[in-house]
Amino acid sequence: MNIEVSYDDLIPNNVGLSDDPKLKRALEKWHPGYIDWWKTAGPAGYLEDEVYLRTAVSVDPKGWAKFGYVQMPKYRWGVLLSPAVEGRTIPFGEHKGEPAWQEVPGEYRSLMRRLVVIQGDTEPASVEQQRALGATAPSLYDLRNLFQVNVEEGRHLWAMVYLLQKYFGRDGREEAAALLQRRSGDSDNPRMLGAFNERTPDWLSFFMFTFFTDRDGKMQLEALAQSGFDPLSRTCRFMLTEEAHHMFVGETGIGRTIQRTCEGMKEAGIEDANDINAVRNLGLMDLPTIQKKARLHYSLSLDLFGAEVSTNAANAFNAGIKGRFHENKIDDDHRLLNDTYPVLRLDDAGFKLTDTPALTALNARLRDDYSNDCAKGVGRWNKIIEKTGVAFELALPHPAFNRRIGEFAEIESAPDGTILSQQDWEARKDEWLPNADDMDYIHSLMKPEYGAGKYAGWIAPPKVGIDNKPGDFEYVRLDQS
């Protein structure tokens, strides 16, 4: 197993691509279509500009990345797997304890392919959703972070395409081609999952997306990193090292926005955080609108966990393909044949935690783990508000709020879980989710600020620079020509 990555090939890799001519040819054939996709569906503009990006050069956890200026179409997207664990066995399901698979077992081929395709589909989808944001970044630092997230999501697509091309033969090659053809939000050929066809129209959305939706990515990758199919496990493990930065961008982006809003309110002597007009007159993002955006992105992301009770999930677990969050830290038999898990369900009497066979409740469990992770981040945002002395608390809505998939898809509820008639929902949803006025206001703040070390008025500067660079560092060298 190579720790260092070979940069001699067109496609940097630590999977011995030069010893596998057939795979190398397949990937090299896919490459021009990918570059074409990047240029037409990736970040609009900025094809020539030098961006200060990190590139994975090793899979050693202590020093895997190097920073430097690069034009994005020339970014070295590589295929990287975390080191193999010697003697690894399948950690769960009916094959628990058997040696991990190095090839896909025939009987699980289609199940496995479907999961890899869905995972792969989300990566380019997010880049497409974020395509227009480069026009309105609040600073060069943020612009660079957007592009860092974009190139790494591009690399995640490479990661899944590698698995498809290496392990799934002709079907895999066809799926790899289709991954470049679907488009986020396209009515004829959309991306596969709901949240990835929504718009990311502004920077508040971008930060919420990287906080909430990239965090679904983290949870799903953690579950796939447990896989008995070793190449999938190793691929996902390395993707997780990159994912941390995406969530950092979201959490600190919202945190800096909150910081600026609260400081501005204090300076102006505004006591009532719900007086949105007073806050907006200062050109700041009012906290109630931040709350609305958080509800929207959280509820969209909850839909990504699928139905709470799912035989797909049970089959994937039984087969040893997709495990639970931190499977290896859970103290049980890892087979779940007789276990139950309390799932929040709805009956005529209201919401009730109902003991459900644990095998079919895996989506619910992963979603609960996700909600706990989100709540911690929201708690950190609330600390920022509290420190400034502003009286306001952000909260996640009830899991039934604004849902389109699963147990609560057919009903409507208020953020506190009060069940509403369709009519009441229609009448009140603008109080809870961003409405047209909110969107107009947010839009009015989306003005680019591209002076070195300068920040748009609605967001505070970061505490430290990327790669410890000083405050006025030129993270993107905008084309001088």
Report the interface residues with ligand BYC, using CB under 6 A.
Answer: 115, 118-119, 122-123, 126, 153, 193-194, 213-214, 216-217, 220, 303-307, 310, 312-313, 322, 363, 405
Q: How far is the CB of 218 from Fe ion (least distance, A)?
A: 8
Q: Which stretch binds Fe ion (CB under 5 A): 27-35, 152-160, 191-199, 274-282?
A: 152-160
Cross-strand bridge partners of residue 99: 89
- Burial pattern 13-45, b for ≥16 Cβ within 10 A else e, equals bbbebeeeeebbebbeebeeebeebbeebbbee
Cβ closest to ligand BYC, residue 232 vs residue 459: 232
> What's the CA gap between 144 and 51, in Å, rounded?
6
> Which helix (H) or strand (E) covers residue 413, if one does?
strand 412-413
State how far the Cα of 467 lies from the Cα of 197, in Å rounded to an integer: 33
Q: How far is the CB of 214 from Fe ion (least distance, A)?
A: 4
Find the shortest distance in angstroms from Cβ 215 to ligand BYC. 8
Interaction of residue 156 with Fe ion, rule CB under 5 A: yes
Chosen residue from 214, 216, 303, 438 binding Fe ion by CB under 5 A: 214
Query: Where does residue 468 rank: exposed (0-12), middle (13-18), buried (19+ CB within 10 A)?
Result: exposed
Residue whose CB is less far from ligand BYC, 23 or 296: 296
**Alpha-carbon dihedral sign for residues 97, 103, 105, 109:** positive
Q: Which does 319 bind (CB under 5 to 8 A by kind): Fe ion, ligand BYC, none?
A: none
| First-to-last C-alpha distance (Å) of the chain | 45
Q: Can you read off the two tokens belonging to residue 325?
A: 């969050």
Cα 101 from Cα 228, distance rounded (Å): 6
Residues 368, 210, 172: CA angle, nearest 5 degrees: 85
Query: Could you say which residues in the range 320-379 bind Fe ion, by CB under 5 A?
Result: none
With CA atoms as reference, report the closest residue to 120 among 64, 88, 79, 86. Answer: 79
Question: 305 vs 392, which CB is nearer to ligand BYC?
Answer: 305
Q: Which is nearer to ligand BYC, 163 or 279 (CB)?
A: 163
Which listed option, ligand BYC, Fe ion, none, makes contact with residue 119 (CB within 5 to 8 Å by class)? ligand BYC
Q: Which of 198, 211, 257, 224 is nearest to 375 (CA)?
A: 211
Which one, 145 or 261, has the nearer CB to Fe ion? 145
Give whichever of 215 and 292 is closer to ligand BYC, judged by the CB atom: 215
- Residue 212: both structure tokens together: 């909430």
Least distance in Å: CB of 215 to Fe ion? 9
**Cβ partners under 8 Å of residue 21, min gap 6:** none
Say which residue the tokens 């909260």 belong to: 395
- Piece in contact with Fe ion (CB under 5 A), picked from 96-104, 154-162, 440-448, 456-464: 154-162
| Residue 118, contacted partner among ligand BYC, Fe ion, none, CB below 5-8 A by kind | ligand BYC
Handedness of CA 205, 206, 209, 210 (dihedral sign): negative
Cα–Cα distance between 326 and 9 in angstroms, integer? 35
**Residue 297 near Fe ion by CB under 5 A:** no
Q: Report the SS3 class of residue 345.
A: strand
The footprint of Fe ion on residues 108-137 (CB under 5 A) is 123
309 vs 384 by CB, closer to ligand BYC: 309
398 lies in the site for Fe ion, by CB under 5 A: no
Q: Which stretch binds Fe ion (CB under 5 A): 63-71, 112-120, 155-163, 195-203?
A: 155-163
Rounded to whole angstroms, how far apart are CA atoms 130 and 366? 26
Residue 334 vs 365, nearer CB to ligand BYC: 365
Kindly determine how many residues on this chain lie close enough to bind Fe ion according to the rule CB under 5 A.
6
Residue nearest to ligand BYC (CB): 306
CA distance 64 to 66: 7
Binding segment (CB under 5 A) for Fe ion, from list 11-19, 214-222, 378-386, 404-412: 214-222
Residue 202 or 303 with smaller CB distance to ligand BYC? 303
Q: Determine which residue in the list 24, 54, 166, 246 makes contact with Fe ion, applying CB under 5 A.
A: 246
CB 115 to Fe ion: min, Å: 14
Judged by CB, which is closer to ligand BYC: 123, or 286? 123
- Residues binding Fe ion (CB under 5 A): 123, 153, 156, 214, 217, 246
